[in-house]
Amino acid sequence: MPRGEKSEASQTGASAIVGYEDFLTELKTRISSAQLRAAVAVNKELVLLYWQIGRDILNRQQQQGWGAKVINRLAADLQKAFPEMKGFSLRNLKYMRAFAEAYPDEELVQQVVALIPWGHNARILDTIKDQTERLWYAQQTIEYGWSRNVLVHQIESKLYHRQGKATTNFNRTLPQPQSELAQQLLKDPYTFDFLNLGTDFLERDLERALINHIRDFLL
């Protein structure tokens, strides 16, 4: 091809995709934001479910005299009913009870602590007794996108006592998409268990879909 024709073809190809990169970037951002919103919504439902289970255990222990061993029986029965979910272990049910006891206000749970992964909440429960301090760390986790390891480091370094003061501004509901917290929300194992979307489950579904597709094609 003559040099002039090649140059003209290149210019034509370039003009055909003017604005494509900007469009692709916009779509990537939109998809990432949608994924994060979905992950936050599922996480919120999961944490609220755990809080409600913990609250109901507390209420029955207080009002109906259920003993501590009822949690052992409940864990065994729930694991039998939902064998693919690891969230109903005895240890986790005890966390649910402690979680509900630490945060008796459901609205406060919805506004703040239900926006961070369950593993983050468990670490906060393990190490902090004051509710004001707990909420501060939860808010900072959302604001700065702390991973669980970073959260633990900040607690151990007593960041709250060095610079903290609890705030009441709960308007921020999403971490930054590029933050480690966002990545943990998207990949949180409790979420996968909650939705029955374990790796094996996904692989079976994918294999079944591929087999069906090949069969339909051959027919």
Over the stretch 61-72, which tens digit does the pLDDT of each residue have? 988 888 888 999
State the residue range of the domain holding 211: 15-218
**Is a pLDDT exceeding 70 seen at residue 165?**
no
H/E element holding 103?
A: none
Q: Classify residue 7: in a domain, yes or no.
A: no
- Mean pLDDT for the chain? 83
Contact, 54 vs 98, CB < 8 A? yes
Residue 98 banded pLDDT, cuts 50, 70, 90: very high
Please name the residues in contact with 85: beta carbons below 8 A apart, sequence gap of 6 or more: 78, 79, 193, 194, 196
What is the distance between the alpha carbons of residues 78 and 111, in angstroms, rounded to a whole number? 28
The answer to whether the beta carbons of residues 114 and 141 sit under 8 Å apart is: no
Instruction: Look at residue 12 in the predicted model and tell me its pLDDT.
Output: 45
Burial class (CB in 10 A: 0-12, 13-18, 19+), 7: exposed
Q: At what angle do helices 118-127 and 148-156 cross, to 10 degrees?
A: 20
Q: Per-residue pLDDT for 56 more than 60?
A: yes
pLDDT > 60? residue 206: no
95 part of a folded domain: yes
* Residue 80 in tokens: 């039998």
Alpha helices, DSSP H only, in 65-179?
70-81, 90-102, 106-111, 118-127, 131-144, 148-156, 159-163
CB burial of 120-153 (b: ≥16 within 10 Å; e: otherwise) equals bbbbbbeebeeeebbbbbbbbbbeebbbbebbbe
79 vs 195: which has the higher pLDDT: 79
Domain membership flag for residue 10: no
Mean pLDDT, residues 115-136 taken together: 95
Question: Is 1 a member of any domain?
Answer: no
Q: pLDDT higher for 209 or 176?
A: 176
State both tokens at 199. Answer: 């790796």
Instruction: Report the Cα 219 to chain-centroid distance in Å.
Output: 42
pTM, two decimal places? 0.77
Give the C-alpha separation, 6 to 77, whole Å: 72
Note whether 138 and 116 are within 8 A (CB).
Answer: yes
CB 46 within 8 A of CB 194: yes
CB 97 within 8 A of CB 71: yes
Does residue 67 sit within a domain? Answer: yes
Q: Is the pLDDT of residue 8 over 50?
A: no
In a domain, 190, yes or no: yes
Q: Give tens-digit pLDDT for 26-50.
A: 999 889 889 888 999 999 999 999 9
How many folded domains does the chain comprise?
Answer: 1
The residues near 195 (Cβ < 8 Å, ≥ 6 apart) are 42
Give per-residue pLDDT as tens, 184-205. 888 888 887 887 654 454 555 5
111 located within any domain: yes
Mean pLDDT confidence for 167-174 = 60
Residue 5 lies in a domain: no
Of 95-99, 113-117, 170-174, the range with the lowest mean pLDDT is: 170-174
Task: Evaluate if residue 174 carries a pLDDT over 90.
Answer: no
